[in-house]
């Protein structure tokens, strides 16, 4: 994909960041209001959980397919379609009192979730000189982290003080605002060179692509495998009160945003070293937390460190996969999203098995196993790149 000559690339990246925030906020924000959804729509809490599960399942299945299908469409047009569908879906969610309609209103936009995110990454990277691409992408990643960090507490606050309908309206307002900004501030972004589906799928014939995807699947599985049970760990192992756990979860999320910013600079300086060093640092932090998790101060400091490292690792994973397939950036970003969602699903399940068998502290052992596998695939991946003399 050629460098874009978009007017005011800084404004473009800013709008993309807020767009990603709006879409991730729509996906994750309902996590904190599932009991309220159950109460509002007269369903059980597990049934209300489908508002999250259906969305996530569609994203996981469509992530490699939808960016491929939209790879020849004008970027601005595709992003407007995604933002428009998310806005309409959230308006319907805010107005309906039928749970089946709510599920459909969340499921349909989820198909375009990978389209917007993958294009946001590739457009941001192409809006600046090639050597500055990691920094531009890291700014867009701030939207991902902010959507996950702020989405849950903000939505919970809104629903708690008003209603589920108003919380859904908040999603609609955020997406509509970005839609308007995109209409008036982002120029047409036609595809410079349309690649055939076959040419894009051809990246799957490269060993470096598979090693990159598998490596990040394990690494993300490690991070989210532990993160999914972090509140349980802080409750049962560190024995912190509920309010303190909530604060540390917010600290972790804020640190994740810091990690996003730091990642752009690290990848700019030495991407290959970043790919190797970060998983090792994550492993060291998990080991220390396993040993000192029952002590409040060490555990709190390590949660902060883990948040920063997780932010860096997410950016590095996106870079690792997109760098393995630079000839098909949208498809590569779709593979990244699939890798991330698959890692989250499998990592959470495996760490859950460790908790069932040995206790909450041992979720860290599941994470360490995943990191060991991820490090192995990163080392092989970089060795392949070195042999083929492909620049990083």
| In a shared domain, residues 118 and 154 | yes
Domain final residue, candidates 157, 185, 213: 185
| In a shared domain, residues 179 and 205 | no
Per-residue pLDDT of the chain (392 residues; tens, 9 = 90+): 444 444 577 788 889 999 999 998 898 888 778 888 888 999 887 788 888 778 888 888 888 889 888 888 898 999 999 999 999 999 999 999 999 999 999 999 999 999 999 888 888 888 878 778 888 888 888 888 788 777 777 887 888 888 999 999 999 999 999 999 999 988 888 877 676 777 778 888 999 999 999 999 999 999 988 887 888 889 889 998 878 887 888 888 889 889 988 988 898 888 889 999 999 999 999 999 999 999 999 999 999 999 999 999 998 998 999 899 888 887 888 888 888 888 887 888 888 889 889 988 999 999 999 999 999 999 999 998 887 764 44
Q: Are the CB atoms for 332 and 325 separated by under 8 Å?
A: yes
What's the CA gap between 132 and 125, in Å, rounded?
Answer: 8
| In a shared domain, residues 244 and 357 | yes
Residue 265, token pair as written in the block: 């600079």
Residue 345 neighbours by CB distance under 10 Å: 18
Parent domain of 63:
9-185
Domain final residue, candidates 185, 210, 244: 185
Residue 195, token pair as written in the block: 């690649």
Q: Are the CB atoms for 94 and 172 separated by under 8 Å?
A: yes
| In a shared domain, residues 225 and 169 | no
| pTM exceeding 0.85 | no
Q: What is the CATH number of the domain that holds 214?
A: 1.20.1250.20
**Whose CA is closest to 320, among 384, 389, 224, 392?**
392
**Whose CA is closest to 366, among 283, 288, 278?**
283
Residue 335 neighbours by CB distance under 10 Å: 27
| In a shared domain, residues 254 and 361 | yes
């Amino acid at each position: 994909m050629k460098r874009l000559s978009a007017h005011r690339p800084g404004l473009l990246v800013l709008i993309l960041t807020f767009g990603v925030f709006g879409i991730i906020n729509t996906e994750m924000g309902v996590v904190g209001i599932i009991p309220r959804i159950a109460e509002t729509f007269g369903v059980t809490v597990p049934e209300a959980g489908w508002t999250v599960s259906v969305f996530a399942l569609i994203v996981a299945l469509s992530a490699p397919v939808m960016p491929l299908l939209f790879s020849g469409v004008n970027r601005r047009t595709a992003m407007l379609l995604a933002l428009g569908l998310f806005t309409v879906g959230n308006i319907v969610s805010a107005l309906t009192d039928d749970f089946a309609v709510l599920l459909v209103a969340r499921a349909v936009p989820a198909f375009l979730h990978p389209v917007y995110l993958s294009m946001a990454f590739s457009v941001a990277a192409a809006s600046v000189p090639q050597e500055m691409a990691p920094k531009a992408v890291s700014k867009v990643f701030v939207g991902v982290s902010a959507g996950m960090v702020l989405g849950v507490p903000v939505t919970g606050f809104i629903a708690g003080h008003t209603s589920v309908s108003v919380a859904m309206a908040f999603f609609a307002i955020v997406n509509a605002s970005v839609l308007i900004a995109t209409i008036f501030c982002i120029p047409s972004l036609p595809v410079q060179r349309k690649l055939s589906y076959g040419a894009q799928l051809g990246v799957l014939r490269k060993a470096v692509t598979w090693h990159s995807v598998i490596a990040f699947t394990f690494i993300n599985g490690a991070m989210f495998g532990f993160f999914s049970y972090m509140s349980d760990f802080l409750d049962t192992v560190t024995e912190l009160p509920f309010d303190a756990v909530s604060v540390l979860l917010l600290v972790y999320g804020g640190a994740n945003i810091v990690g996003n910013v730091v990642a752009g600079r690290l990848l700019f300086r030495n991407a290959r070293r970043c790919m190797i060093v970060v998983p090792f640092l994550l492993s060291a932090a998990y080991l220390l937390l396993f040993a000192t998790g029952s002590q409040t101060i060490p555990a709190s400091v390590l949660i902060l460190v883990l948040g920063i490292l997780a932010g860096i690792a997410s950016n590095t994973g996106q870079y690792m996969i997109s760098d393995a397939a630079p000839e098909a950036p949208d498809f590569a970003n779709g593979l990244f999203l699939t890798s991330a969602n698959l890692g989250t699903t499998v990592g959470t399940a495996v760490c859950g098995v460790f908790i069932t068998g040995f206790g909450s502290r041992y979720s860290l052992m599941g994470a360490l196993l995943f990191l060991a596998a991820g490090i192995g695939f990163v080392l092989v991946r970089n060795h392949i790149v070195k042999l083929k003399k492909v620049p990083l």
